[in-house]
Amino acid sequence: MADEQKSGLDAVDEGPIGSDAREATQRTFSGDPSEHPTIAALLERFGDEVQGHRVAAGDQWVAWLAPTRSHEILDWLKNDPDHAYDMMSDVTGIDYGAGRPVEVVYQMFSTAHSRALRLRCPVPLDAMEIDSVCDLWKSADWLEREVFDLFGVTFKGHPDLRRILMPDDYAEGHPLRKDFPLRGRFSRAEQTRRALEQDVERFYLADDLQAGAPQEMDASAVGAIADGETEATPAQSREDD
Amino acid sequence: MATKTVEFNIGQSREMGVGGSGAPSPLAPFDIPEPKLGTEQMLINIGPQHPATHGVLRLVCELDGETVTSVVPHIGYLHSSFEKLGEYRTWNQIVPLTDRMDYLAPLIYNCAYVMSVEKLMGIEVTERCKIVRVILMELDRIFGHLLWLGTTAIDVGAFTPFLYSFQQREKIYTLHEALTGARITTSATRVGGMMADLPEGWLDQLLEFLDNFPKTLEEVHHLLTGNQIHIGRTQGVGVISAEDAINYGFTGPNLRATGVPYDVRKDRPYYDYETYEFQVPVGEHGDCYDRYLCRMEEMEQSVSIIRQAMARLPDGPINVDDPNISLPSKTDAMSDMESMIHHFKLITDGIPAPEGDCYMAIEASKGELGMYVVAEEGDTKPVRWRVRPPSFVNLSVIPKLAEGHMVSDLIMINASLDIVLGEIDR
């Protein structure tokens, strides 16, 4: 580690050091699934798809699902009256780094049964895609766009999968991935240079760039306004409209 | 020539005058000739720098005449990737990031974050700390709702409620300052306790605020609740059904205005909220007016919760008695070897977390605020820190709500959702 430590401006540019990546811990089937009816039903109905479950932080049930049939399972969880998870509170991602799969996390809540459930779907790095649940819960729309933007997971069947927080033309990747450096892909100097090199005309119309020439009014309009007529508008803008 | 009837005073008796004055209204319905105007599709851009978007929000609207046919919100202008920054900070260093998200109710975010971390680590905070946090969270619920009240009233042309609500907010600012030294960026909580206990005389100051505040609410009720302009601008505007609201992810007062009594404090109680006596106000129409009424009532309920919490506030330590979690006092750190070592370890290493993840949902002023933290064994920094932002999800509904309304109603709908861009963009 000592060899890699930088000093002076280089160290400033690199920034602080993040949490270390580790090897994956083995997923287990811990906790008594009969305590949570949904976990028990999931194991019974989709036993092959459930890769593990556990109780996290005292009372929160988590299940790991294979991403292949996630849409079918989530559809069932929403529409089956015994479970009825009508609220998709959150969709997010976790990247552990070290080549481990990015996990898509669903936080669900059932208002009918007052029951919460967390599902985690590990998506392998070489095929980062999973079915969108936007057709089931409209709340997943922006949340999935955010996961796409920040983690690079493609949601198949999403009606409008665009970047949401980063600019549309952002080309440096997905910022919340562990391989993305905290201060961006390039040095501060390079970032500044790129920002200054941007083509301004991509963002503005050519007319807007011509420093505000005052609008011409024809003589009759000027006269009308002077006479107190408030309806008179500049002839120039009428033509434009 | 085609005529259309112009209706004023929608939803109220026409006998009442403008502003609910009781005098006959001069604005009786009358017929005006329909002007011969060709309409065409127009694309207009609102924001990102616009006072009525309540932050750096950009709305691209397609209009047919003055009717909104579609709205596309663009966000991200304030994005500073707090979640990424969090991965490079120890558990306690993240606290200052949280209050920069919702700077309108910072203490709720401070509390929610440390509650999640404490739950992940299995730390049980002291009874006094719990109740102090309940007081602070309810105080900031009032704080957030007051800003919403003032700025939303301005959007429909009422200026006075803005002055009244900011007068009261100023008192809460003073309370923040007395407690934390900062007015907005409070950073008041620490894992396992608070930055400091309540200062002397703080509770008396709070009591004085609680005594005076309901009078302001009463005044605002007089100004807005029966006000015909306000009613005309808000009733029937931005309506959403209960079923849709749940499906679209609405939470908080926006959801309750549709009649769904979902409140995290009642449905997934934390910090003994089940032992406090309070009502969850619900609306029935799911329009802007019901959202207004819900928030007004919530402020009164918050006052009641704060009073109950003050009555049961026990003496005792505010931080947990564990040298591996709470910093020792300055005197101890300077004079006692053991304490100095703990101080050094806590500052340089931080608090090690067990392997696991924890999603802590609390009822923030804007809806369900979820703090999701993921850690590996012994991590002093989170692998992932995720904020489930209530106003992010609430804002995503705006294309549905605004469709078919006038542009001026779009402004009202946007205001009624109570968004804060700091938290949407993070």
pLDDT digits (tens, 9 = 90+) for A160-197: 888 899 888 787 888 888 888 887 777 778 878 887 88
Domain assignment of residue B64, yes or no: no
Residue B152: name the closest of B354, B409, B423 by CA: B409
How many structural domains are present in chain B? 2
Q: What is the DSSP string of B41-88?
A: EEEEEE-SSBGGGTBS-EEEEEEETTEEEEEEEE--TT---HHHHHTT
User: Is pLDDT at A13 greater than 90 in this prediction?
Assistant: no
How, if at all, do strands B3-6 and A154-156 pair? unpaired
**Contact residues, chain B, for A88 at CB < 8 Å:** 249
The answer to whether the Cβ–Cβ distance between A138 and B384 falls below 8 Å is: no
Query: Are residues B33 and B156 both part of a single domain?
Result: no
Query: Are residues B130 and B268 both part of a single domain?
Result: yes
Nearest to B247 among A60, A138, A166 (CB): A138
Query: Are residues B15 and B141 both part of a single domain?
Result: no
**Do the beta carbons of residue A8 and residue A33 sit within 8 Å?**
no
**Do the beta carbons of residue B241 and residue B264 sit within 8 Å?**
no
Query: Are residues B255 and B367 both part of a single domain?
Result: yes
- Say which residues have a Cβ less than 8 Å from residue B124's Cβ, sequence separation at least 6: B118, B320
User: Is pLDDT at A66 greater than 70 in this prediction?
Assistant: yes
User: Is pLDDT at B364 greater than 80 in this prediction?
Assistant: yes
Query: Are residues B187 and B322 both part of a single domain?
Result: yes
**Contact residues, chain A, for B93 at CB < 8 Å:** none
**Do the beta carbons of residue B173 and residue B200 sit within 8 Å?**
no
A-B contacts (CB, under 8 Å)? 124
Nearest to A57 among B356, B382, B386 (CB): B356
Can you give the pLDDT at residue B140?
93
- Say which residues have a Cβ less than 8 Å from residue A22's Cβ, sequence separation at least 6: A96, A98, B376, B377
Q: Please, which pLDDT band fits residue B10 given cuts at 50, 70 and 90?
A: very low
Lowest mean pLDDT across A10-14, B143-147, B282-286, B327-331: A10-14
CA of B421: which chain A residue's CA is closest?
A165
Q: How far is CA B151 from the centre of its chain?
A: 13
Domain assignment of residue B72, yes or no: no
Query: Are residues B288 and B402 both part of a single domain?
Result: yes
Residue B354: name the closest of B372, B377, B374, B373 by CA: B377
| Closest CA–CA distance from residue B348 to any residue of chain A (Å) | 13
Query: Are residues B30 and B88 both part of a single domain?
Result: no
The answer to whether the Cβ–Cβ distance between B249 and A166 falls below 8 Å is: no
**Do the beta carbons of residue B70 and residue B403 sit within 8 Å?**
yes
Query: Are residues B162 and B30 both part of a single domain?
Result: no
- Say which residues have a Cβ less than 8 Å from residue B173's Cβ, sequence separation at least 6: B183, B184
Residue range(s) defining the domain that contains residue B27 = 1-37
Total-model pTM: 0.83
CA distance B50 to B58: 8
CA distance B386 to B113: 10
Domains of chain A: 27-170 (3.30.460.80)
Can you give the pLDDT at residue B21?
46
**Contact residues, chain B, for A118 at CB < 8 Å:** 357, 359
User: Is pLDDT at B343 greater than 50 in this prediction?
Assistant: yes
Q: φ and ψ at B73, to 5 degrees?
A: -80, 140
**Do the beta carbons of residue B15 and residue B226 sit within 8 Å?**
no
Query: Are residues B298 and B393 both part of a single domain?
Result: yes
Can you give the pLDDT at residue A92?
92
Task: Tell me the per-residue pLDDT of A72-87, one tens digit each, with 9 for 90 and over.
Answer: 999 999 998 888 898 8
ipTM of this complex > 0.85? no
CA distance B143 to B150: 11
CA distance A208 to B396: 30
CATH number for the domain including B212? 1.10.645.10
Mean pLDDT of chain B: 86
**Contact residues, chain B, for A92 at CB < 8 Å:** 372, 386, 388
The answer to whether the Cβ–Cβ distance between A56 and B368 falls below 8 Å is: no
Query: Are residues B90 and B209 both part of a single domain?
Result: yes
Q: Please, which pLDDT band fits residue A5 given cuts at 50, 70 and 90?
A: low
Can you state the angle between helices B106-121 and B127-155, rounded to 10 degrees? 140
| Closest CA–CA distance from residue A79 to any residue of chain B (Å) | 12
Query: Are residues B208 and B350 both part of a single domain?
Result: yes
Q: φ and ψ at A226, to 5 degrees?
A: -60, -30
Mean pLDDT calculated for residue range A114-126: 89
Query: Are residues B171 and B30 both part of a single domain?
Result: no
CA of B121: which chain A residue's CA is closest?
A57
